[in-house]
């Protein structure tokens, strides 16, 4: 998207843009309900949900990136403010979030409030990511609490966090980047893609763990069997 196509800015001026990256193998209601509640909690103009073709720190996803993007599009449907963004599929090599955030920063401009959201499980490994300090130069980081996961930061993660943590969304949104906010969203859901893949493989029900359209597509295309 070019800068002139950027959505209208919020009341305080600069646009509020979120990014939720992931494997989405497949997208599930834990992702989507968190995305809706994050959009609401931060009063975002738009939340880009971005599948990684080959996440650097984990094994090869079970399903091709194009297929995962199609499931994400089906799962989002007409949900206001959420956007299935396939930009990383066009990129050669590993998908680094710093590169994706740099692109978004370029598109929305220096004043935009840019937020990278991730669950506690992903955040606990942040210090191992490519160029982790650069992430804070480009965006705020919002960590979503996840049931069945707890966060015990390593010394390297503590060092990265430094004095960045703020108390609430209002404080975060006073600047374009550099802050850290931990959020407990209202409907925390103990749903994981790992459990869904396992259930599909075993021929067990995944009803109400996934949007109906994603379940239909996964079952009819025998994606995880
Ligand atoms: P897997 O079980 O294959 O590791 P996952 O369910 O954790 O997958 P990912 O695609 O790896 O899904 O997650 C993308 C992002 O969404 C990560 O930051 C992850 O922490 C977050 N996330 C995933 N599931 C939930 C959930 N139920 N609640 C809140 N955040 C979630």
Q: Which CATH class is domain 3-220?
A: alpha beta
**With a 6 A CB cut-off, is 119 part of the ligand 1 pocket?**
yes
**With a 6 A CB cut-off, is 95 part of the ligand 1 pocket?**
no
* Mean of pLDDT values over 14-20: 98
**Residue 21 φ then ψ, to 5°:** -90, 165
**Atom from ligand 1 closest to the CA of residue 58:** 4
Among 70, 55, 175, smallest CA distance to 125 is for 55
Evaluate the CA torsion angle 39, 7, 2, 179 in order and state its sign: negative
* Mean of pLDDT values over 202-220: 95
**With a 6 A CB cut-off, is 24 part of the ligand 1 pocket?**
yes
**With a 6 A CB cut-off, is 121 part of the ligand 1 pocket?**
yes
**Range in 65-74, 85-94, 199-208 the model is least confident about:** 85-94
Residues 6+ apart with CB under 8 A from 154: 124, 127
* Mean of pLDDT values over 69-75: 97
8 pLDDT more than 70:
no
**Range in 11-20, 139-148, 205-214 the model is least confident about:** 11-20
**With a 6 A CB cut-off, is 205 part of the ligand 1 pocket?**
no
Higher pLDDT, 6 or 79: 79
Q: Please tell me the distance from the alpha carbon of residue 37 to that of residue 56, in angstroms, as a whole number.
A: 27
Look at the chain and count its residues. 225
Q: What global pTM score does this model have?
A: 0.93
Determine if the peptide bond prior to 26 is cis (ω within 30°).
yes
10 pLDDT more than 50:
no
DSSP helix/strand/coil, 50? strand
CA of 22 to the centre of ligand 1 (A): 7
């Amino acid at each position: 998207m070019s800068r002139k196509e950027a959505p209208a800015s919020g009341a305080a001026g600069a646009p509020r843009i979120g990014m939720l990256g992931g494997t989405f193998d497949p997208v599930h209601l834990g992702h989507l309900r968190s995305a809706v509640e994050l959009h609401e909690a931060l009063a975002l103009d738009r939340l880009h949900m971005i599948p990684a073709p080959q996440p650097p720190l984990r094994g090869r996803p079970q399903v091709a990136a194009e297929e995962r993007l199609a499931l994400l599009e089906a799962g989002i449907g007409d949900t206001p403010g959420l956007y299935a963004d396939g930009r990383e599929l066009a990129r050669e090599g590993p998908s680094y979030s710093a590169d994706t955030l740099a692109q978004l920063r370029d598109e929305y401009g220096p004043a935009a409030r840019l937020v990278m959201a991730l669950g506690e499980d992903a955040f606990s490994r942040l210090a191992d990511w490519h160029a982790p300090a650069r992430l804070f130069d480009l965006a705020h980081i919002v960590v979503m609490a996840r049931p069945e996961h707890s966060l015990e930061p390593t010394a390297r993660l503590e060092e990265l966090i430094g004095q960045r943590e703020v108390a609430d969304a209002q404080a975060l949104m006073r600047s374009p980047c550099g802050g850290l906010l931990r959020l407990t969203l209202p409907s925390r859901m103990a749903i994981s893609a790992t459990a869904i893949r396992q259930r599909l493989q075993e021929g067990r029900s995944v009803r109400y763990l996934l949007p109906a359209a994603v379940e239909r597509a996964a079952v009819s295309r025998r994606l995880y069997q």
